[in-house]
Chains A and B, each alone.
Chain A
Amino acid sequence: MLALQQSLSWRLWWVQLALCWLLSPAFSSVSLLSFAVLLSLKLMQLRWHWRTWRLTEANLVAAALVLLFILTSRSQGLLALMVHLLYLAALLRLLGFRASALNDAKQLMLVHYLLLACALILQQELLIALVVLLVLFGQLWAHYLAFASQPARLQPIALLKSSLLILPLWALLFVFLPRLPPLWQLPVTSVAQTGLAEVLSPGTISQLVSSDALVFRAEFNGVAPAATELYWRARVYQHFDGNSWFQADSAGSVDPARALQQAEMLSASQSAAITRIEYNLLLEPHQQQHLFSLALPVTLPERSRLTTLGLLQSRQPLSQQTQFSLQSWLGAVPELRTRQTSALQADLQLPPGNPASRQLALDLKRVAGGDAPLLVQQIQQYLQQGGFVYSLTPPVLQGEQVDQFLFSSKNGFCSHYAQATVFLLRAAGVPSRIVGGYLGGEWLANGRYLQVTQKEAHAWVEYYQQGQWHRYDPTLAVAPARAFRRLDQLFAADNLAGPVAVFLQQRWQRWLLQPLSELDYFWSRWILGFTPATQWQLWQQIQHSATMMLAQLEAQFTKVNATWSVANGRRWLATFSDHVFHLSHKLMLCTGLLAASLLFWGWQRYQTWQQRLLLQTNPAALILQYLTPWQPKVQGQTISAYLQQIAEQQPGLQPQLQLLVRRYQQLSFGTDQSAKTASQCLQLLQQIKAQLRTQQIRAKVLRPFYNR
């Protein structure tokens, strides 16, 4: 029993060690250090049999540490603090753990399950989930040990059987148990935000694109839009202070139906065939409120709103991976703000300075006249012919940034071009703004879904004309390929390591990274993103197919009833059997074979079991049943004498028969009736029977030849 307690304590310690690692995103360095100390103290207890803690000691340490945590981790939010306290309670309970007191173990294990859930709230990657599954398995094992009467080894067969029962049940529960919307708001951890920030300065985006991190994935229902339409809008920057651009006010929200109506009305005059597209977005948590959409979103996902800038905003910072489906209207975004004149005035705001650029804007305006599209064309021409270069590492600009860029460095990244263009437009009196977001993405899984990473971060321009905001991307004037290729492909030639490295990198990407990211997509789409909506769809589908099948059956039945003839029936049967055969013959064959072999195996096992039971109760009967067909027994002869007689006639079988006699005696006199002896006895019997049978057959078949 002591060994059992010891192994239980060890297992619980391992589980806590793993939990410490899994929960570390919520821990500060101070708390990690104190947990490490406590964990190593427990290790001392286990390894060198140090004394377990008393309740008062544990309480004193608890009080001190709780105070410490409140002081150090307060800024991390309520959830982190709760995880701290829960983990501390578990750890202290383990330090004072008396394995003999079952109640200790019971409480501790409940807390462990709760902590595993906390680990899953903090992180949801596939790898983490696998680790959590592993730890859960270890925890379940410890749980099993706590209620076992003998130190049990892991029994693979029993485990397999149990998991065969558990897994379908688990899957069924996951798919069919009803989901609810969130019941109330729970605290979140304050984790660093990722992605586009509220302030845009020319260097921001080039920092962003150095990261490979996944931002979101999109799956289109139906035809995907062209590459030049894949401008994922995220933020709008309006106010410029000479160095940086600040996000426009996005407090007001609009009804998407009204926005669509307005957009359609405005574009009807321009008679452009504008399509609506439907797509699914799977967002990685970025701890910010802005969502992503193409052009103007016309449906609203749950718990989000449409701002007057035509952007989607979630009500809460995105702390979990989120999935929603969306419809977009691929046209110009209409002006939706309530106080338009003052708002448009703000879209003309410029700080003082940059005189050369202002002059350039006036010159271009003179050429274009008052027409905004013409002005944009002029700017495009200027950028194309002015010797501008697209680069990820432009020189640092100071002071009069726009003047420096347009007239001296002429070397920049997307945000430089967007900034310069907006400056020129505003100086020429056209309301305009910078839009931050992502351009394009990488098609994966044979073009089934689009993966957008931080590498696709981009900034472009929207200018105002007749109630609509038109998109213009000045970067394409300098680097037209940007719309179709990823940045790393665009700059592949700059790679210092040369073509071999590029080749290797591509291979690496193709063979390892892509399958992995596809697996991760599956994980995110179907496990993490299995929402109530998806569940509802699945139910609908099942219901639909069930009713379809019933209707078909009914139709066939009535048809058969109405016009039943032999030919008709035969044809119907033929088509039906064809159908069934083609649909699932392989599957059925496999299932049938599997079932048959399982049945056969089960039958064999059952037979063996029955015979073993018979051997334990009445060994003589089974021995006679096995051997008398091949070797008749004299009336009144004892079993031992009978076996002796066989041994005399068959010298080759002597050792087996001697062993059988011994086993028989053990079984019948009750000295050893264990299952092991019985199964040995059974094996011996089978061997002897096989030997006798072959000899007899040989004798019967060959004797005529000898006689002749």
Chain B
Amino acid sequence: MSGLSRSPLRDWARQRLLRWLARRQPAVASLTLRHRFLLVLPSRYGLAFSGLILLLYILGTNYQNNLVLLLSFMLLSLLLLCIVLSYRNLAGLTLLAGPPVATFAGQQLQLIVSLQHWQHRQSLQFELGNWQCQQQQGWLQLQHLPTQRGLYQLPRLKLSSVHPFGLVRCWCYLALQQQYWVYPTPLPHSQTPAPLSSNPDQSWSHLQPYAQGDKLQRIDWKKLARQPTQPVVKVYQSEQAPPPQLCLVLPPLEGAALELKLQQLTRQILDLSAAGQSYSLQLPDALIKYGSGPEQQQRCLQALALC
């Protein structure tokens, strides 16, 4: 799966393998390793070990020594047993994909895949191209430095183990339904928008139900204590006046210009969101309506990532 494939033959073989795997194990959110996904073959050391067994068999035959033959049969049955043991080391392990995660291009992406029934399993080795894989107790941490914006599917992960005697390698290529967003890199700060200062003199006009994105400072804590299921927020007089609504526009551009504009827009969206202002985003083929808060930010950034 990993590594650079240069020759066309290897490319072709890799394509075939991927297609076969896609049929055999399509990506799922939760995957329990079963007979169907696990491959078992002797490792290189296992081949050397088979050579040793053959050598002992010849030695025992030539000396007509049954004890040496017994030793070679013992090692042979060990080799055969290893097939079962190495399969059992991996079978039953469950991997759970998490919700999609997001990062900006050029920044570290960290993905967590949680493991179930991971106890008593030894020497698990995860491999995924140039990703860093690290298994910690019940979860697997994957780190990567993405460069291209977009929406990605986690590539097939290779899990292998040579436990218990290193004679047999049991492995599988896992496809998890785990997506991650890579947003455009925000441009460094160029403008400092005026932060919304909360004026203590402002008189509040009324209460309204809490919606996601409302500032925590505005929650009516006294009411919350009485009715924990129905949080309300205070709405102030001055906010009644519609704030200056911004419409961000992405003109139809291409190439480097597009990327630059996307980076600018990302920065603007981040700043506006931080300021709690509402804004809309006009894309060449779509319009994201006015809104504010993290949801709006996420919606807009995802749209930009896909442009």
Taking beta carbons and an 8 Å cutoff, which residues of A are in contact with B? 102, 106, 110, 113-114, 116-117, 120-121, 124, 129, 132, 136, 140, 143-144, 146-150, 152, 162, 165-166, 169-170, 173-174, 177, 179-186, 319-320, 322, 527-531, 675
Residue of A nearest to B75 (CB): A113
Interface stretch of the complex, out of B57-65, B234-242, B245-253: B57-65
Interface string of B56-97 (1 = CB under 8 A from A): 101111111111111111111110110011000000000000
Q: Pick from B65, B78, B122: contact of A152, CB below 8 A.
A: B122
Supposing A143-B165, A173-B77, A675-B119 touch, asked if A114 and B55 sit within 8 A by C-beta, the answer is yes
Q: Is the CB of A106 within 8 A of B166?
A: yes
- If A147-B162, A147-B163, A165-B84 touch, whether A121 touches B59 (CB-CB below 8 Å) is yes
Contact A182 B61 (CB under 8 A): yes
A173 and B81 form a contact (CB under 8 A): no
Assembled-state Cα–Cα distance A152/B164 (Å): 11
Q: Report the minimum CB–CB distance from A271 to chain B (whole Å).
A: 43
Q: Is the CB of A124 within 8 A of B65?
A: yes
Size class of B's contact patch? 35 or more
Give the chain A neighbours of B163 by CB distance below 8 A: 147-149
Q: Is B52 touching A528 in the complex (CB atoms < 8 A)?
A: no
Residues in B with CB closer than 8 Å to A675 are 119
Would you call A136 and B65 a contact (CB within 8 A)?
A: no
- Report whether A320 and B63 are in contact in the complex, using a CB–CB cutoff of 8 Å: yes
Additional A-B contacts beyond A140-B165, A166-B77, A170-B70 (6; CB < 8 A) = A102-B166, A121-B59, A132-B67, A149-B122, A322-B64, A528-B67
With beta carbons under 8 angstroms apart, the residue of A114, A166, A169, A177 that contacts B52 is A114
> Which of A136, A152, A527 interacts with B74 by CB under 8 Å?
A136
| Complex-state Cα separation, A310 to B92, whole angstroms | 70
Task: Decide: B84 and A527 in contact? CB cutoff 8 A.
Answer: no
Identify which of B59, B62, B78 contacts A140 (C-beta below 8 A): B78
Given contacts A110-B52, A117-B60, A162-B81, contact A527 B165 (CB under 8 A): no
Q: Provide the main secondary structure of the chain A interface.
A: helix
Closest residue of A by beta carbon distance from B70: A174
Q: Which 3 A-B pairs have the closest CB atoms?
A: A173-B73, A120-B67, A169-B77
Q: With the chains together, A560 CA to B241 CA distance in Å?
A: 105
Min CB distance B84 to A, Å, is 7
Does A129 contact B62, Cβ atoms closer than 8 Å? no
In this complex, what residue of B is CB-closest to A186? B62
**Would you call B162 and A186 a contact (CB within 8 A)?**
no
- CB-CB under 8 A from A129, the residues of chain B are 67
Which residues of B are interface residues toward A (Cβ below 8 A)? 45, 48-49, 52, 55-56, 58-78, 80-81, 84-85, 119, 122-124, 162-166
Residues of A within 8 A of B166 (CB): 102, 106, 143, 146-147
Q: Which residue of B lies closest to A163 (CB)?
A: B81
- The answer on a CB contact under 8 Å between A182 and B81 is no
**A149 to B126 alpha-carbon distance, docked (Å):** 14
Q: Which of B48, B123, B165 meets A149, CB within 8 Å? A: B123
Q: In the complex the two chains form, is B123's CB within 8 Å of A117's CB?
A: no
A183 touches B58 (CB 8 A): yes
Q: Are A166 and B68 in contact (CB under 8 A)?
A: no
Are the C-beta atoms of B77 and A170 separated by less than 8 Å?
Answer: yes
Residues in B neighbouring A322, C-beta threshold 8 A: 64
Q: Given contacts A106-B45, A129-B67, is CB(A166)–CB(B78) below 8 Å?
A: yes
Cross-interface CB contact of B61 among A169, A180, A530, cutoff 8 Å: A180
Min CB distance A169 to B, Å, is: 4
Q: List, in ascending order, chain B residues with CB within 8 A of A147's CB.
A: 123, 162-166
Q: How far is the CA of A150 from the CA of B63 in the complex (A)?
A: 41
Chain B positions within 8 Å of A179 at CB level? 61, 69
Residue of B nearest to A146 (CB): B166
Chain B residues whose CB sits within 8 angstroms of the CB of A148 once the complex forms: 122-123, 163-164
A113 near B56 (CB under 8 angstroms)?
yes
Check B164 against A144 for contact (C-beta < 8 Å).
yes
Q: Closest Cβ of chain A: how far from B187's Cβ, in Å?
A: 41
A528-B66 contact in complex given A148-B163, A162-B85, A169-B77, C-beta closer than 8 Å: yes
Q: List 10 A-B contacts (CB under 8 A).
A: A113-B71, A117-B59, A117-B60, A143-B165, A148-B122, A152-B122, A162-B85, A166-B77, A179-B69, A186-B63
A179 to B65, CA, bound (A): 11
Chain A residues in 8 Å Cβ range of B52: 110, 113-114
Q: How far is the CB of A147 from chain B (nearest CB, A)?
A: 4
Determine the chain A residues whose CB is within 8 A of the CB of B55 once the complex forms: 114
Q: A120 touching B71 by the CB < 8 A rule?
A: yes
